[in-house]
Amino acid sequence: MENKYISKRYWSEPDNAMAECDVMAKTFDDVINLSLGDPDLTTDKRIIDAAYEAMLAGHTGYSDFQGDPELRDEIRKFYKEEYDMDIRDEEIMISSSATVAMYLAFEAILDDGDEVILQAPFFSPYPHQVVQARGVPVELGTYEEEDFQVSIERLESLITDKTRAIVINTPNNPTGSCLTLETMQGIARIAEKYDLIVIADDIYTDYSYENPFIPFASLPGMFPRTITLNSFSKGFNMTGWRVGHIVAPEYFIKTIQRINDGVCFTTPTMSQRAAIYALQHRREIQPPIVEEYKARVTYAARRINQIPGWHVIEPPKGTFYLFPSIKGTGLSSQEVVTKVLQEAHVLALPGETFGACGAGHIRIACTTKIDVLKEAFDRIDKLDW
């Protein structure tokens, strides 16, 4: 929007397709919304009750600026128990979501004009966040025929004297792919060779179906150059609580905290108390959630591969998203999304929302129950492909 009162940096910023979904979902009274990654499952009642009791006990003011000490301690224990990583308290900070954490990380590391290589397809806010931090986003395409693995050769070809960092996301939104250990080791070699920072968006680690998740920061020599982001949003159905965390060397954490003091001060205290309970009881709370989403994407993948001109990797490897190719229809991503919305009243997102390499794909979020997914695909099946 061009307006004399608006910073010129935002005059040419495109609208966020994610933000437009709410409007599009109201196009028809019976729209089945498969566009957004907001789980339909309510936060476990035990977590809600724990937060309520914490509020009654007085946890309603500001927390420690680095985050609730008890939550930081639970995160430290989590990394030790799950990945045998020894994380110090000074290397942990609580953030108001992983999205805010990503912006804080960019602000902490980028000088004007620094380049950030983004594993693509990517979570759509990434490029905007890089620009907001005065950086330059550089897309590193991955492709279905390569199992959406990062090509180390393409990665290296994108590096310039302005490259500062690489952002990786595994399991990946929107593709559902998971980087192999071999791929991550290749990325590690490049990061070390060119002295780059790696920002690891680990928000979907609970949804790694094929192989156990391995944190990039746990690879030999990588912790000193890695900023790890995670959140309680997806793993615990806590999207509205806005609580995440950052694990990184102390020099990153200190800078990020100073920046955050001018952004949101502290993460909501009651959300942090809820997160403490969630982590302490994760082995009771999470398995049914993970199994539910795995069942959904498995069902949806089977249905997608029965639609003429559509194809998706099967079985799904991770997350609750699918990124089917629709190239066989002869239509563009936007044309398929429009056709599905107008004729079947099902809302999905075009692949270009997640980077140029997403062309020829659409994203489907399996955040509804299987019977609703069945109705959605029954409608799509009736269309002329």
- Sequence spans of domains, the chain: 8-43+285-381, 45-282
Structure pTM?
Answer: 0.94
At residue 39, the pLDDT reads 86
Burial class (CB in 10 A: 0-12, 13-18, 19+), 128: middle
CATH class (in words) of the domain with range 8-43+285-381: alpha beta
Q: Who wins on pLDDT, 3 or 306?
A: 306
Mean predicted lDDT score pLDDT of the chain: 95
Place of tokens 């594993």: 119
Q: Give the whole-angstrom CA distance, residue 156 versus residue 193.
A: 10
Is it true that the peptide bond before 121 is cis, omega within 30 degrees of 0? yes
At residue 155, the pLDDT reads 98
Least confident among 11-20, 84-93, 282-291: 11-20
For residue 59 the two structure tokens come to: 């946890």
Burial class (CB in 10 A: 0-12, 13-18, 19+), 89: middle
The domain 45-282: what is its CATH number? 3.40.640.10
Arithmetic mean of pLDDT, 146-150:
98
Q: Give the whole-angstrom CA distance, residue 171 versus residue 212.
A: 11
pLDDT higher than threshold 90 for residue 159: yes
Give the closest residue to 150 by CA, choosing from 191, 190, 120.
Answer: 120
Residue 112: partners with Cβ closer than 8 Å, 6 or more residues away: 134, 135
Arithmetic mean of pLDDT, 308-337:
97
CA distances to 111, 115, 135, 190, 319 from 158, in Å = 19, 10, 15, 11, 28
Arithmetic mean of pLDDT, 287-304:
98
At residue 57, the pLDDT reads 97
Arithmetic mean of pLDDT, 65-78:
97
Helices (H), the chain: 17-24, 45-56, 69-83, 98-109, 125-132, 152-158, 181-193, 250-261, 269-280, 282-304, 333-344, 370-381
